[in-house]
Amino acid sequence: MSFHPNDVARRARMSSMALSIGFVLLVGAFFKTQVIQYKQYVMQSEENRLRPIPLPAPRGIIYDRHGEVIAENLPAYSVSITAPSVDSLRSALAQLAPTLQLGQNDINNAIRRYRRAPTRPTVVLADASIDIVSVLEEHRLDFPRLIIQSVPKRYYPDGPSVASFVGYTGEITESDLNDPKYVNYKPGQQIGKAGLEKQYEAILHGKEGVRFDEVDARGRPVRGEGPRPDLNPEGAPPLYTNIDLDLQKFMVGIFADSLQGGAIAIDPNTGEVLGLYSAPSWDPNKFTGGIPVEYYKQLLDDKRRPLVNKAIQGTYPPGSTFKLATSIIGLEDGVVGIHEHMPVSCTGGYQFGNRYFRCWEKKGHGSLDLEGAIKHSCDVYFYQLGLKIGLAKFIAGGIKLTMRDKSGIDLPEETQARWPYAIDYYNKKYGARGWSNAETLNLAIGQGSNSQTVVNMAKLYSAFAAKGVAPRPEIAHLVPQRKQIFTLNTQQDSIVLEGLKAVLEAGGTAGASAIQGLTLAGKTGTAQNTGGADHGWFVGFAPADKPKIVVAVLLEFGLHGSRAAHIASAIIGHYLKVGPIKATMDEG
Amino acid sequence: MSRPIVSDFRLLAAAGLLSLFGVAMVYSAGQTDTPTAVATVYKSQILWLLIGLGFAYAVGHSSVRFIEWMTTPLYLLSIVLLGLTLVIGKGAGTAASTKSWLAIGSHRIGQPSEIAKVTVVLMLAKVLANQRETPRSLLDLWKPAIVVGIPWLIIMLQPDLGTGIVFIGIFFAMLFWAGVAWPLLILIASPAISLILSFSVGLWGAWFFILLALVLWYRPYLIEGIVLMVLNVATGVIAPMMWEKLAPYQQNRLKVFIDPSADPRASGYHVIQSKVAIGSGGFFGKGFTLGTQKRLAFLPEQHTDFIFSVVGEELGFLGVTIALALFLWLFLRITQIAERANDSYSSLVAFGLMSSWFVHVLVNVGMTLNLMPITGIPLPFFSYGGSFMLASWLAVGILMRISGEGRGSALSLRR
């Protein structure tokens, strides 16, 4: 062994050197981490220990035109839980299930929400009852990861009365979350699911706030007070609508429980929707925070189909209400003079080829001019007017009158009206030789391949009430939009108007619905319904000379338009504060 | 010759200050927001320290010759105890699946490997000191290789990679101190280096040529040279197969050493949280007991393997530097003791004990910053644990004795 002192001293120097270098390197590494990269690690350490708890923002309050509340927010309690893993969530839910009265479905939903956003507290109950909350509060210490929050909950004071247009809110679904439209949304959040709530989601949805809880490595909150100031949620601005809640409730009342159908009231000058109702309705308050299965089933099973909005979704043959369109197309094209009589006078029907087309009046109307034809709704007159216009022009005219469009009302559910796009439509549908010009006769009286929504008919009559300018029906006045869809000269206009006025005078098809001291103009209609009793239509406006309101009413299985006219005139009378209604209801 | 109570004040001061520092950190490690069992372990750590001081005092007042005489029986005893762990061993903490603990029933008695670190140093020193010639060839090294190899194999079977690394460190350090030429040391290490480099064909190829040049220059026996080259080729080729043989958690630890973010929740979690704790400590730290990462339990094993992260988080760069300076002071002092020891046995023991601690500090502290793989190796005087505290102070006692008997001992040392 070479343990000569010189050798040992040399090795000692070498190892002292190596030791010193080793420690200098270590100190250098700590200097880099603790001094140079300090800020980065401080941030990471903050992120580690601060858990953001989202604070839901209250949705914008929805008001009617007079400042009455249509939709507001009430305080409710939501129960959420944070979990480090799915298994941990599962066991926590199993433990909580009896207290929270969770079903398998609730548990599955919670797990789905967790999978989507594991770092976010998982909503277990969006709207917990006060009983559950008080039990949970008592056992707070047993469930340290539970978060019980006061959250705003949507409430509609008039519930079913406003459901037809306001829609409802609910939890964002999995497919919504995949939609780029909802890119910034998180599972468990409430969004507008239908109606105005959906249409104006971007406006009504406030900005979520954040509270920072200090948590330990297992996600358990350690101190009550957040170490960082909360970011308060920002409530959405209110949404002012054109709805007249008083009129709306009147409309609801008039339909009562027995009638079914849709009605809409529009200011023809602006397109403002004053009221919109589909009967029977449903309660949007029951939909908030998850649709109860039983209630939903009950609505689905209801033969009156409450979930189909009859004012904007249901399409019906417009029947005689369409004769206004036929008249306008004929007048605009110049194929009919204002006092012109048709070649064949009405004897209760019209022979076309080998088919006999009936007039609704079996006794016949005799020879009528346009005004009279409108007043009496004479089918024979309009058969001939239709033939005079010719199918191609007639279809084009209908398209110009937006009979093939959506009205553009600011509701997401509106159905597009059906009207042929061209003669080619028939060739495609029946084959080039499979149809005859009889289709023209059908179209002329509002039957055939013509199916309109209540709101679209209201738009047509609004255009007539406003000298050919069709306003887009708007529940919330955000982007007014108007379009000239036809032009009649003054004489033509007044002849049609006189005809529409005469409908509501003695001898007219809705004579029984006249209002004393008010000139109404409108048209009844019967939508042939192969599946049952015919639907009754009325579309009209008042005052006739300076229209302030257009009302369209469709009564399902209403047989004839006179009952619909009765309802419409009541609505108009209520809105214009005129009445009482003179005549009693009778079928005419 | 009268025996002073303290034969080497500087050694005692360095070890004592480190121990007090360590106990304080073990206390702090227990201060979490959600109290755990760690909250009270500082009390037992103080107890172990006191017992350790008693051991040190007793050993310090024996003689080096007595220690040398006891070396072989102690070594054999520790081999037996180590062997027992394979039969009745238990795991603990991060190494729950290993068998490094000796246990009777569910009571863990201690970790024989901690004692073995000392006895292996003693035994190796004895064997090397008894060799008249400095080893010049691989064959000359068969005795030291067996002394370290047997306990090393048992420990790798437990398996305890960290302690295995310490043994290898001790082996090389003591051969160096015994005067073995550095080319020979490299030749001994070459198969292992080949193993590590085998993952890159280019690197391994370059290494192989360097090795070839070294062999030609150092000129070992022909047969040795051939065996070495064959071994290098073998390890270079069979390494991937060895990798497959590693337990998944070992693979993970090695993988995470290379890229901690590869497995952020499991093994990588430790390192990431440790770095975050240390980095967020800054220059002055968050204050004693006030580390948020530790308080909120983000820091794992904060009282054992990752206790230095608590130092970093709570006492900052300043505290880290002080702790490391104390270690350096201790190690330089022991090197001095080794230099001035009266005989080669004492000198080798001193240097061996120092190198054992040095490897611990390097690997443990390096691990907290992800400079070293996570091997579950404790930090001397800091990490909570009775066996290691006892073994460390036993070593301090031995060093005191060696220092007291050495040239320029405490009494006559002029500088």
How far is CA B160 from each of CA A220, B88, B382, rounded to the nearest angstrom?
34, 15, 20
- Which residues, 6 or more positions from B66, have their beta carbon under 8 angstroms from its beta carbon? none
Whether residue A359 is contained in a domain is answered as yes
Whether residue A588 is contained in a domain is answered as no
Question: Is-contact A168 A131, C-beta < 8 A?
Answer: no
- Same domain as A500, residue A516: yes
- Same domain as A220, residue A345: no
Q: Touching check for B293 and chain A: CB below 8 Å?
A: yes
Residue B350, pLDDT score: 95
- Same domain as A542, residue A434: yes
Interface predicted TM-score of the whole assembly (ipTM), two decimals: 0.89
Q: Touching check for B183 and chain A: CB below 8 Å?
A: no
Contacts of A33 in chain B (CB under 8 A): 275, 278-279, 312, 369
Whether residue B4 is contained in a domain is answered as no
Whether residue B410 is contained in a domain is answered as no
Helices B64-88 and B112-130 meet at what angle, rounded to 10? 130
Helices A323-333 and A379-389 meet at what angle, rounded to 10? 40
How far is CA A220 from each of CA B3, B26, B271, rounded to the nearest angstrom?
58, 24, 22
Backbone angles phi, psi at A210, to 5 degrees: -140, 135
Strand pairing category for A239-240 and A221-223: unpaired
Residue A123, pLDDT score: 87
**Taking Cα atoms as reference points, which of A161, A254, A143, A247 lies closest to residue A555?**
A254
Residue B5, pLDDT score: 62
**What is the rounded CA–CA span in Å between residue A206 and residue B30?**
45
Q: What share of chain A is helix, strand, coil (3-state, %, to 5)?
A: 40, 20, 40
**Taking Cα atoms as reference points, which of A318, A267, A272, A261 lies closest to residue A550?**
A267
How far is CA A369 from each of CA A337, A352, A381, A495, A526, rounded to the nearest angstrom?
9, 21, 8, 10, 22
Count of domains for chain B: 1
Other Cβ atoms within 10 Å of A247 Cβ, number? 21
Residue in B closest to A15 by C-alpha: B335
How far is CA A576 from each of CA A434, A461, A510, A523, A547, rounded to the nearest angstrom?
50, 18, 19, 19, 11
Question: Is-contact B398 B38, C-beta < 8 A?
Answer: no
Whether A23 and B280 lie within 8 Å, measured CB to CB: no
Whether residue A190 is contained in a domain is answered as yes
Whether residue A356 is contained in a domain is answered as yes
- Same domain as A429, residue A324: yes
Burial of residue B241 (number of CB atoms within 10 Å: 0-12, 13-18, 19+):
exposed
What is the number of helices (H) and of strands (E) in chain A? 21, 19
Q: Which residues of B304-334 are buried (b: 16+ CB within 10 A; e: fewer)?
A: bbbbbbbbbbbbbbebbbebbebbbbbbbbb
Whether A220 and B275 lie within 8 Å, measured CB to CB: no
Q: Touching check for B181 and chain A: CB below 8 Å?
A: no
**Taking Cα atoms as reference points, which of B341, B338, B395, B376 lies closest to residue B74?**
B395
Contacts of A218 in chain B (CB under 8 A): 34, 297
- Which residues, 6 or more positions from A317, have their beta carbon under 8 angstroms from its beta carbon? A446, A447, A448, A450, A451, A452, A527, A528
Residue B256, pLDDT score: 63
Which one-letter DSSP state was computed for residue A121?
P
Whether residue A42 is contained in a domain is answered as no
**What is the rounded CA–CA span in Å between residue A29 and residue A484?**
78
**What is the rounded CA–CA span in Å between residue A62 and residue A199?**
13
Using the structure block, give the residue that is written with the tokens 């008080």.
Answer: A134
- Same domain as A401, residue A261: yes
Rounded to the nearest angstrom, the gap between the alpha carbon of residue B215 and the centroid of all alpha carbons in its chain is 30
**What is the rounded CA–CA span in Å between residue A288 and residue A293?**
13
Across the strands, what pairs with B104? B107
Using the structure block, give the residue that is written with the tokens 């009266």.
Answer: B342
**What is the rounded CA–CA span in Å between residue A375 and residue A504?**
8
* Biggest CA pair distance of chain A: 143
- Which residues, 6 or more positions from A561, have their beta carbon under 8 angstroms from its beta carbon? A319, A320, A321, A509, A510, A523, A524, A525, A526, A536, A537, A538
- Same domain as A496, residue A369: yes
CA dihedral for A332, A338, A342, A346, sign (positive or negative): positive
**What is the rounded CA–CA span in Å between residue A465 and residue A91?**
66
Contacts of B278 in chain A (CB under 8 A): 30, 33-34, 41
How far is CA A335 from each of CA A331, A342, A385, A388, A421, rounded to the nearest angstrom?
6, 11, 8, 7, 22
**What is the rounded CA–CA span in Å between residue B137 and residue B126?**
19
- Same domain as A224, residue A333: no
Q: Which of A211, A240, A269 is the last residue of a domain?
A: A240
Written as tens digits, the pLDDT of chain B (415 aa) is 445 667 789 999 999 999 999 999 999 999 887 778 888 899 999 999 999 999 999 998 888 999 999 999 999 999 999 988 888 777 665 555 567 777 666 666 678 888 899 999 999 999 999 987 888 887 888 899 999 999 999 988 877 778 888 999 999 999 999 988 888 888 888 888 887 777 777 888 888 888 888 888 887 778 888 888 888 887 777 776 777 777 777 777 776 665 555 555 555 677 888 888 999 999 999 999 888 888 777 777 888 889 999 999 999 999 999 999 999 999 999 999 999 998 899 999 999 999 999 999 999 999 899 888 777 789 999 999 888 999 999 999 999 999 988 876 544 443 3
- Give how far A234 is from chain B: nearest CA, Å: 31
Whether residue B358 is contained in a domain is answered as yes
- Give how far A50 is from chain B: nearest CA, Å: 11
**What is the rounded CA–CA span in Å between residue A19 and residue A7?**
18
Strand pairing category for A261-266 and A146-155: unpaired
Show the 3-state SS of A448-484. CCCEECHHHHHHHHHHHHCCCEEECCECCCCCCCEEE
| Pair of tokens at residue A550 | 């257009």
Whether residue B400 is contained in a domain is answered as yes
Whether residue B394 is contained in a domain is answered as yes
Instruction: Provide the residue range defining the domain that includes A551.
Output: 247-279+312-575
Whether residue B414 is contained in a domain is answered as no
- Same domain as A538, residue A423: yes
Quick: pLDDT tens for A107-132. 888 888 888 887 788 888 888 888 88
Other Cβ atoms within 10 Å of B412 Cβ, number? 8
Radius of gyration of chain B (CA): 22
- Same domain as A254, residue A225: no
Residue A512, pLDDT score: 80
What is the number of helices (H) and of strands (E) in chain B? 15, 3
Question: Is-contact A541 A550, C-beta < 8 A?
Answer: yes
Count of domains for chain A: 3
DSSP B75-122: HHHHHHHHHHHHHHEE-BTTBTTS--EEEETTEEEE-HHHHHHHHHHH
Residue B28 one-letter amino acid: S
**What is the rounded CA–CA span in Å between residue A377 and residue A379?**
6
**What is the rounded CA–CA span in Å between residue B257 and residue B260?**
6
Whether residue B381 is contained in a domain is answered as yes
Q: What is the CATH number of the domain that holds A190?
A: 3.90.1310.10
Whether residue B411 is contained in a domain is answered as no
Q: Touching check for A129 and chain B: CB below 8 Å?
A: no
Q: Which of A192, A225, A240 is the last residue of a domain?
A: A240
Whether residue A130 is contained in a domain is answered as yes
Residue in B closest to A13 by C-alpha: B335
- Give how far A301 is from chain B: nearest CA, Å: 51
Q: Which of A7, A42, A217 faces B298 most closely, judged by CB atoms?
A: A217
Residue in B closest to A216 by C-alpha: B296
- Same domain as A62, residue A10: no
SS3 A186: coil
Whether A42 and B282 lie within 8 Å, measured CB to CB: yes
What dihedral angle (degrees, nearest 10) is formed by the CA atoms of A245, A246, A247, A251?
90
Residue A53, pLDDT score: 83
Helix (H), strand (E) at residue B3: none
Q: Touching check for B152 and chain A: CB below 8 Å?
A: no
Residue in B closest to A21 by C-alpha: B328
How far is CA A204 from each of CA A117, A185, A234, B368, rounded to the nearest angstrom?
23, 14, 11, 50
| Pair of tokens at residue A254 | 């008039």
- Same domain as A194, residue A103: yes
Other Cβ atoms within 10 Å of B129 Cβ, number? 19
| Pair of tokens at residue B395 | 């070593």
Whether residue A206 is contained in a domain is answered as yes
**What is the rounded CA–CA span in Å between residue B114 and residue B74?**
13
Q: Which residues does chain A have with pLDDT short of 50?
A: 226, 581-588
Burial of residue A264 (number of CB atoms within 10 Å: 0-12, 13-18, 19+):
buried
Residue B360, pLDDT score: 95
- Same domain as A147, residue A111: yes
Instruction: Provide the residue range defining the domain that includes B383.
Output: 9-405
